Amino acid sequence: MTGKVWLVGAGPGDVGLFTLKGKRVLEEAQVVVYDSLVGDGVLAMIPKSARLINVGKRAGHHLMKQEMINQVLLEEAQKGYRVVRLKGGDPFLFGRGGEELELLCEHGIPYEVVPGVTSCIAVPAYNGIPVTHRDYCSSVHVITGHKKAGQSYNIDFEALVRTKGTLVFLMGVTALEDICNNLMAAGMDPSVPAAILQQGTTAGQKRIVATVGTLKEEVDRQGILTPAIIVVGGVCEVADKFAWYEKLPLAGCKVVVTRPKELISRMAMQLRRQGAEVLELPGIALSPVEDLTQVENCLEKLETYQWIAFTSPSGVKIFFELLKKSGKDLRALGNIKIAAIGKGTKKELEERGLYPDLLPEIFDGASLGRKMAEVCEENAHILIPRAAIGNKEIIQELSVRKDLVIDDVATYDTRYETQDLIDEAGAFERGEIDYAVFTSASTVRGFVNALPKLDYSLVKAVCIGKQTCGEAKKYGMKTYTAREASIDSLVELVIELAGQEKK
């Protein structure tokens, strides 16, 4: 059986710029052939079931030559696999996508091309530079700035100057001086505005605006990292006026979120809205317990309970999955009252049309247990469906009421997750990650399990509550605790910390 190849553009770095079609195709991939310019956020979306082939393409450094990449795509497709060739930016804009299709065409391999948001448009936009503006220009030209060592450019610089349009040079950082000198030699006024834009759309974004005559000098003075693009033209002078990204509260911050995968999206979305680059790397995964005997017994006698207490959003999600599996629906809850530990759990219940009868003022197990002990009817029968490794605080507080009958039932197990795709430890060691956000003690343990050799003193741990904070402190992390145990409060704390560091 013949497989199929998709050439997928991953965009310039911000995972929010990855297309919906690209995401769908990637989720169905069996083999992913990726290069070094794909953003960490997109890499984190690759399914665990996919086999990974790193070709490491970057200017001046290739783990695999282009001819070998072409051959790999052919061979994997011939084995019958769904192959995604994941490329930074757009596959047909200096991405050598056309070359990769040639061999597939020769052998009759089916393929599709999924365009990506290209850095030559997106990166200037994130820096307040419109590549076209009728007050400045009526055209934009994209040029590769890369050339082989010792060779001159095969570019008609005089023609470029005559266009009077915006010029965008990709992969030209090492040749910046040559590019500027060639433009001036071709008749460009040295006073024409020019900019170099580093790692655009990511937390590493940086902008240097000068002129064609002074840009090299400014780069030498201020420093620049790759990847970066060069923009030449009058539109560069509006960069400071139109700049918007750096005005966001979390612009320049890279945050690791460690929640279980199915719970990450809301927190990640809130952080991204504030400008953060979010790396979703779940430290734990949740699944229903293997032995469901106790759970099934409780579901069979639901009508005997006066209260159900949910201690996490995951507890809600898995309980109702198991309820559905047993052939029952919401009507089985009858007149049972519901207690929720906090806002996240409350929200998960509300999405199912249920509104908690009880929510403690402080969102932790002890407070929930204390509050329930105060309000529960005499001889009340209470069901607590939760994690097998749940802490005992709620049980301890409820135990002051000797008349209460408590069924503390494990509905889901927690297992640690690891990944080898992204060098998370190296990113902490290089100072590239500003904060790690933890929503439970188990997410801290999962993080530590995934990075056993990391110097944890390098980690700024933003924690949802005192237990989570205590777990992070055990490993020497620098800890910060949210005012209340909620996602909103965690995000507010990250914004507060980032603001303090920017002062």
Residue 7 has pLDDT above 60, yes or no: yes
* Rounded distance between C-alpha atoms, residue 68 and residue 55, angstroms: 9
Residue 149 has pLDDT above 80, yes or no: no
Mean pLDDT of 156-173: 94
- Asked which of 354, 382, 416 is the last residue of a domain, the reply is 416
Claim to verify: residue 213 and residue 315 sit in the same structural domain: no
Q: How many CA atoms lie within 13 A of 217 on its CB side?
A: 7
In this structure, what DSSP letter does residue 32 have? E
**Tens of pLDDT, residues 122-136:** 999 999 999 999 999
Residue 326 has pLDDT above 90, yes or no: yes
Pairing of strands 284-288, 405-416: antiparallel
Q: Strands (DSSP E) along 105-162, which ranges? A: 111-114, 140-144
* Rounded distance between C-alpha atoms, residue 186 and residue 156, angstroms: 9
Confidence of residue 421 (pLDDT cuts 50, 70, 90): confident
Claim to verify: residue 290 and residue 411 sit in the same structural domain: yes
Mean pLDDT of 318-338: 94
Residue-averaged pLDDT of the chain: 92
Claim to verify: residue 128 and residue 271 sit in the same structural domain: no
CATH code of the domain containing 443: 3.40.50.10090
Claim to verify: residue 229 and residue 135 sit in the same structural domain: yes
Residue 61 has pLDDT above 80, yes or no: no
Give the domain range for residue 175: 121-245
Q: Which residue has the higher pLDDT, 319 or 416?
A: 319
Q: Which of 377, 299, 376, 307 is nearest to 335 (CA)?
A: 307
Structural domains of the chain, count: 4
The kind and range of the H/E element at 279 are strand 277-280
CATH code of the domain containing 144: 3.30.950.10
Q: Which residue has the higher pLDDT, 64 or 34?
A: 34
* Rounded distance between C-alpha atoms, residue 61 and residue 59, angstroms: 6
Claim to verify: residue 303 and residue 407 sit in the same structural domain: yes
Claim to verify: residue 279 and residue 422 sit in the same structural domain: yes
Confidence of residue 275 (pLDDT cuts 50, 70, 90): very high
- Asked which of 102, 117, 132 is the last residue of a domain, the reply is 117
User: Are 487 and 342 within 8 A, CB to CB?
Assistant: no
Mean pLDDT of 137-156: 82
* Rounded distance between C-alpha atoms, residue 45 and residue 473, angstroms: 30
**Tens of pLDDT, residues 364-409:** 899 999 999 999 999 999 999 998 887 889 999 999 999 999 999 9
User: Are 493 and 462 within 8 A, CB to CB?
Assistant: yes
* Rounded distance between C-alpha atoms, residue 257 and residue 397, angstroms: 31
- Asked which of 117, 143, 171 is the last residue of a domain, the reply is 117
**So what's the pLDDT on residue 194?**
98
Claim to verify: residue 198 and residue 177 sit in the same structural domain: yes
- Lateral strand order in the sheet of 206-211: 140-144, 166-170, 228-232, 193-198, 206-211
Residue 447 has pLDDT above 70, yes or no: yes
Percent of the chain at pLDDT exceeding 70: 97
Claim to verify: residue 275 and residue 169 sit in the same structural domain: no
**So what's the pLDDT on residue 154?**
82
Claim to verify: residue 428 and residue 406 sit in the same structural domain: no
Claim to verify: residue 131 and residue 234 sit in the same structural domain: yes
User: Are 34 and 52 within 8 A, CB to CB?
Assistant: yes
**Tens of pLDDT, residues 211-241:** 999 999 999 999 999 999 999 999 999 999 9
Claim to verify: residue 275 and residue 423 sit in the same structural domain: yes
Catalytic sites, residue numbers: 35, 57
Claim to verify: residue 432 and residue 487 sit in the same structural domain: yes
